[in-house]
Amino acid sequence: MILWVMPDSGAKTMEDYATLVALFKKENPSVDVSVRVFTRNVLWRRIFTLKDPTHEEMPDLIQIPHYWTALIVKAGIAENLSQLDPGLSLTDCLVPLKENCYRPGTKDMYSYPWWFDLSALHYRADHLKLVSEHPEEDLKTWEGLLAICQALREKFSDVSGYYPMQNSDWRGSLSMRSALPCMWSRGLNFFTEDRAATLVGSKEFKEALHDYITLALKEYMPILRERGSLGTIVSGKASMMISRKQGISMFSARRMRVRTLPVPAAGDKSAAYLSGMNWFISTFSQHKKEALQFVKFCARPDIQLRYARMIEAFPAFEEAFEPFISSSPRLQVYREILSSAHTLPNMVIMGTVMEILKRVLAVCATQIVENRFTQASLDRELDMTAKEIEFLLSIYKG
């Protein structure tokens, strides 16, 4: 059996999966398991090749971002899990994760939850106390965040390479993931309620995206710079970061007091991005029974807890999530964050929409560095993007 997975724990991914596979093989010694690790971009390209097998070995079980489910169903590359095992259930799964497991408009499962993460604001307590008596209050709104950024920049003006906000994007560019809370906080979404049209070209969407881009425009956050060379919390050259939970333990390891808050509200209330990872079994697999065994193994509370701790994410099922979240006072804030979390809609075109918007933000990042960015240039990019999305909607009806 061959697994295609994503680098859940970076350079440690193969080591972590070796531990997981060893536990699985203790109970299933006759099942051979091989693991292949691909980045999201590579996996995005490779899943489109599954229908036309070449000489390459074909995977049996594939890990995907939760919002790709509708796409893999449309492509005809995912096994119907409800038919494969009628007893398979999502009863214990966290509610926000359920919709993205089904074929849209049905209760037929085509993917199954693995783990998830949440976006939040993390800040150095020693830095913030220099500019704010009540950072929890001051950081409730986006306006407050920008004011704190300005105060921090003035306070650390003599520190070379300092930026108030660390850029959590691995490319050092602008990240749609980090921009999403600004959109949802304003009560917006990518599509109209009936999902028949896009709101990407609307004035409100443009303003929401501009909220996030302001961090780079005002030079509160570095963009398109060598990653890790400046503007990092660990080096003392940054004070805050909007990111998921993964990787935050590095601050504790260095005995830094880093606190976590909901992402500041750009609109009426705070919002967070919930990014889930799911499994799907390839329609072309010759080992569907074994793949299903592995999926069920991964859903067990003991395995959910163990893997979530290994990769610093969250278990996807209540029976593991509750003891996990209760295990540390520092994790309690994530209850509030989860209550305001949003997922990307389970639509055929959603993966493509995110790729298009990633391209838009890459253009904006280049324009900012070259001092060519304007609101008009952002509007033009989003107007063109809206037309692309409307075309996709006309073909796939979401």
Burial 259-295 (b: 16+ CB within 10 A, else e): bbbbbbbbbeebbbbbbbbbbbbbbebebbebbbbbb
Does residue 284 register a pLDDT over 80? yes
Report whether 225 contacts 172 (CB < 8 A): yes
Binned at pLDDT 50, 70 and 90, residue 224 comes out as confident
Q: Which residues face 166 on adjacent strands?
A: 241
**Mean pLDDT confidence for 333-355:** 95
For the chain, how many helices (H) and strands (E)? 17, 11
In percent, the amount of the chain with pLDDT more than 70 equals 95
Does residue 398 register a pLDDT over 90? no
What type of residue sits at position 243? S
pLDDT at 274: 97
Does residue 228 register a pLDDT over 90? no
Does residue 227 register a pLDDT over 60? no
Does residue 63 register a pLDDT over 70? yes
Binned at pLDDT 50, 70 and 90, residue 51 comes out as confident
Tens-place pLDDT, residues 27-42: 999 999 999 999 999 9
Tens-place pLDDT, residues 384-395: 999 999 999 999
Report whether 66 contacts 276 (CB < 8 A): yes
pLDDT at 252: 66
Report whether 199 contacts 192 (CB < 8 A): yes
Tens-place pLDDT, residues 231-262: 788 889 999 999 988 666 667 656 788 999 99
Return the CATH number of 2-118+274-342, one of 3.40.50.300, 3.40.630.30, 3.40.190.10, 3.30.70.100: 3.40.190.10
d(CA 154, CA 23): 52
d(CA 83, CA 120): 38
**Mean pLDDT confidence for 75-83:** 97
**Assigned CATH class of 141-272+346-396:** alpha beta
Cα dihedral sign for 277, 282, 286, 292? positive
Binned at pLDDT 50, 70 and 90, residue 73 comes out as very high
Question: How far from each other are the two terminal CA atoms of the chain, in whole angstroms?
Answer: 33
What beta strand segments (E) does 254-373 contain? 258-261, 272-281, 314-315, 341-342
Give the burial class of 14: count Cβ atoms within 10 A of its Cβ; 0-12 exposed, 13-18 middle, 19 or more buried.
middle
Of 88, 96, 39, give the one whose Cα is nearest residue 67: 96
Q: Do domains 2-118+274-342 and 141-272+346-396 have the same CATH topology?
A: yes
Q: What is the pTM of this model?
A: 0.93
Tens-place pLDDT, residues 313-326: 999 999 999 999 99
Report whether 101 contacts 76 (CB < 8 A): no
- Report phi then psi at 329, rounded to 5: -60, -30
**Residue 289 contacts by C-beta under 8 Å, 6 or more apart in sequence?**
none
At which residue do the structure tokens 């080096």 appear? 235
Integer angstrom CA distances of residue 68 from 100, 112, 347, 389: 8, 12, 8, 16
pLDDT at 329: 86
Per-domain residue ranges of the chain: 2-118+274-342, 141-272+346-396
